Structure 1
Amino acid sequence: MNILMTGGTGFIGRQLIASGQQHAFTVLTRQSSPVFASANVKVINTLQDLSDLNEFDAVINLAGEPIVGRRWSDAQKQKIRASRIQTTQQLVELFERSSSAPDVFLSGSAIGIYGDTGEQKVDEFSDIAHNQNDFAQTLCRDWEAEACNVKNSRLVLLRTGIVLGDGGALAQMLPAFKFGFGGPLATGNQYMSWIHLQDIVTAIYYVLDAADVSGSVNLVAPNPVTNAQFTKSLAKACGRWAPFRVPKCALKLLLGESSQLLTDSQRIIPSQLLNNKFEFAYPNIDEAFSDLRSL
C-alpha cells in the first residue's frame, strides 16, 4: 500500500513504519531530518504540499500534541486540540478534493471519549454520556466528529488506551518504580485499560486490511486492571516493592485538571477486535510486562 501518515515520528507511528516494510509511507512531520527504520519513507512538512490524495491507498492519522505529563493550561489545551482537529480537518478537505480517494481512513482517537466509567465494562457499542466539563472526553468527541466528515472511504476510529512499550507512558512511570518509590495512585481502585505496543501495531494493520471493519475500534487489551493491580505487576517486573500510595489531592496539586487521566476509571473492552477474532499476543498485564525487557 501507499500510505499517508500523520504522527509518524511518534511512539506508535515509528513502530508502525518499522513493522510495515512492505508498504510505502509519506509522513507528515515538522522534523527537518527524521530517521526511520525503513527505507521506503518520504517526508513532507505540510499537507499543503498535496493537492489531493489520489496517489494514496490509505491514510493513517495519528497526529497530536502529547496529552499526558503536563498541566492543561488554556494555552496547552488549545495546542492539544489544534494539533488533532486542524490536522484532521485538512485531511478531510484533501479527501473531498480527491477524484480517487484512498479506500480507508484510520483516524486517531482515545478511550477518553468514554469518560469516567467506574467499574462498568464499556465497549464500542455502549451509550456514551457526555460530560461537557471533561476536557479529554470533549476533545475525543470533537476529533472523531471531524473525521466522520469523510463519507466515501471506509472510516475506522482508533480509540487508543495506555500503550505499554519502550517509551510512551511507561517511560514516565519506570524511574519511580526502579528506585522503589512506585505505588498506587489515589484509591488504586480505578480501572486502567492498556495494550502492549506490539498488539496495537498488529491491530492497526489488521483493521487496515479488514474491509468489513469500520467505525470505532477500541485498541486495548481484553483484560483491563485496576491501578493497584497494574502497580503490583509493574513493581514485580522491576523487582521492587511499590509501597508509596499517591493521594488524589497530591496528583491534583501537581498536575491540575490533567490528573483526571490518572484517577478516572475506564474499564474498556475491545469488542470489535474480539468479535473479528483478533488474537492478542499479550492479553494479560503480567505477560505484557514480562516481555518488556528494558524493565
Structure 2
Amino acid sequence: MERSRVAVAGASGLIGGALVKSLVADGHEVVRLVRREARADDEVRWDPEGQYVDAAGLAGCDAVINLAGAGVGDHRWTDAYKKTLRDGRVLGTAALAEAVAGLDTPPRVYVGGSAIGYYGDTGDRVIDEDAPPGDGFLARLCVEWEEAAAPAQEAGIRTVFARTGLVVSREGGAWGRMFPLFKAGVGGRLGDGRQYWSFVALHDEVAALRRLIDDESLSGPVNLTAPHPVTNREVTEAMSRVLHRPAPFPVPAAVLRAVLGEMAGDVLGSARVVPERLLASGFSFAFPRVEDAVRAAL
C-alpha cells in the first residue's frame, strides 16, 4: 500500500484505535472523525445520529473506514439502548456514505463495519459470506447497517462490509471481560458450551482490514474471523490452559437469560463462520487457532 490518506470513524474504539496505530506506523496519513469540534488538522467533525459530516474534511482521502457504533454488549438491550445501537450505526453509515458519494473525487474504497451477527444462530453448520441473514435484533441491525452504505455503492465506490467475529483482546469486547474472570479462577463455559464462537485475534483483524483497503478484488461482505471457529467449551478450555487457571463455574442458560435478557439469545447462539473470501484472496492469519489468539492477547 502506497502512502495514503485514510479517514477512520470509530478511531477511539478497540479495533479503530489499533487500525490507526498500524496505519500511522507505516507512514499513512490518518484523518479521525470526531463528534466534537475538530481541534487539529487530522480531525473531521461528524454527528452520526444527527446525520452530519463535514465532507470537506474528507477531500483527498483514498479510503474511508467506518467502525463507529456503541458497544453491543455494553448494556442490557432496553428499547432505548437498541435505538442507540441502531442510530449510531445505520444513521451514521448513511450520512458518511452520502458524504463520500458527493465528493468531487471520491475515495477508491469505503469499508463499513458489520458483524457475524448478520447470520443469526446457525447451529453447527459452516457458514460463509453467501449465507442469508438470520433472525433476531442483531441480524436485522447488521442488514440495515450494510444497506445504509448504498450511496457509496451507487456512486461506484468499491464498498466492503467487514463482518467481524469476536475479537480476542484484553482491552475490550467480550474477551476483554473474560480475561479478568479466568485470571481470578472464576471463568467457565456459558450454557452447555456447545455453541460455536467465531473469533479473530486483534492483530489479524487489523491486518484483514488493511487487506480490505488494498485488495481491489474484494467487495461486498467479507467475514473477518479466524479459519478455525470453536465451541464455547473449547474457548473455556483454551483460556484455562493458557492462563493456568481452573474454569469450574459454568453459567447456566437460565441465569444468562435472567441477567442479560434478549442479549442472552446471541450469547448462547451458535455461529460457525469461516472467512472464505479472505482466504481466497491469499490472506494469511498470524493466529489462526484460539489458543494462538489468546496467547497473542497476553
TM over 0.5: yes
Q: Which of 251, 257, 263 is the aligned partner of 1:258?
A: 263
1:129–1:106: structure 2 CA closer, same or farther, 3 Å change rule?
closer
Relative to the length of structure 1, the TM-score reads 0.92
Please state whether the residue corresponding to 1:82 is helix, strand or coil.
helix
Shift of 1:55: 1.8
In 1, Cα distance between equivalents of 2:261 and 2:65: 32
The CA deviation string for residues 167-207 of structure 1, in whole angstroms up to 9 with x for no partner, is 12222112221111111101100000000000010111111
- Give 1:167's aligned residue: 171
The CA deviation string for residues 46-87 of structure 1, in whole angstroms up to 9 with x for no partner, is 253224743211100001010014210000000000010111
The CA deviation string for residues 220-239 of structure 1, in whole angstroms up to 9 with x for no partner, is 00000000000110111111
In 2, Cα distance between equivalents of 1:255 and 1:264: 13
Q: Which of 111, 116, 128 is the aligned partner of 1:123?
A: 128
Asked if 2 retains the 8 angstrom alpha-carbon contact of 1:52 and 1:98, the reply is: no
- Give 1:7's aligned residue: 10
- 1:219 has 2:224 as partner: yes
1:183–1:196: structure 2 CA closer, same or farther, 3 Å change rule?
same
Q: Which amino acid aligns with 2:11?
A: G
Asked if 2 retains the 8 angstrom alpha-carbon contact of 1:52 and 1:94, the reply is: no
RMSD: 1.8
Asked if 2 retains the 8 angstrom alpha-carbon contact of 1:161 and 1:220, the reply is: yes
- Give 2:189's aligned residue: 184
Asked if 2 retains the 8 angstrom alpha-carbon contact of 1:52 and 1:95, the reply is: no
In 2, Cα distance between equivalents of 1:144 and 1:76: 20
Q: Which amino acid aligns with 1:156?
A: V
Relative to the length of structure 2, the TM-score reads 0.91
In 1, Cα distance between equivalents of 2:297 and 2:41: 27
Task: Report the number of matched residues.
Answer: 285
- Give 2:49's aligned residue: none
Asked if 1 retains the 8 angstrom alpha-carbon contact of 2:188 and 2:249, the reply is: yes
Asked if 2 retains the 8 angstrom alpha-carbon contact of 1:193 and 1:266, the reply is: yes
The CA deviation string for residues 79-138 of structure 1, in whole angstroms up to 9 with x for no partner, is 000010111111122123212111100000000000000000000122x1542xx00000
Asked if 2 retains the 8 angstrom alpha-carbon contact of 1:3 and 1:60, the reply is: yes
Percent identical pairs in the alignment equals 37
In 1, Cα distance between equivalents of 2:227 and 2:239: 18
Q: Which amino acid aligns with 1:101?
A: P
Shift of 1:32: 7.6
1:176–1:276: structure 2 CA closer, same or farther, 3 Å change rule?
same
Which ranges of structure 2 fall in alignment gaps of 5 or more residues? 47-51
Q: Which amino acid aligns with 1:287?
A: D
Which ranges of structure 1 fall in alignment gaps of 5 or more residues? 35-39
1:31–1:48: structure 2 CA closer, same or farther, 3 Å change rule?
closer
Asked if 1 retains the 8 angstrom alpha-carbon contact of 2:198 and 2:230, the reply is: yes
**Which moved further from structure 2: 198-207 or 143-152?**
143-152
In 2, Cα distance between equivalents of 1:130 and 1:219: 18
Q: Which of 153, 156, 159 is the aligned partner of 2:160?
A: 156
- Give 2:240's aligned residue: 235
Superposition map of 1:70-149 within 5 A: 70-126=75-131, 128-131=132-135, 134-149=136-151
Asked if 1 retains the 8 angstrom alpha-carbon contact of 2:98 and 2:151, the reply is: no
Asked if 2 retains the 8 angstrom alpha-carbon contact of 1:193 and 1:225, the reply is: yes
1:241–1:155: structure 2 CA closer, same or farther, 3 Å change rule?
same
1:100–1:48: structure 2 CA closer, same or farther, 3 Å change rule?
same
1:232–1:81: structure 2 CA closer, same or farther, 3 Å change rule?
same
Superposition map of 1:201-216 within 5 A: 201-216=206-221
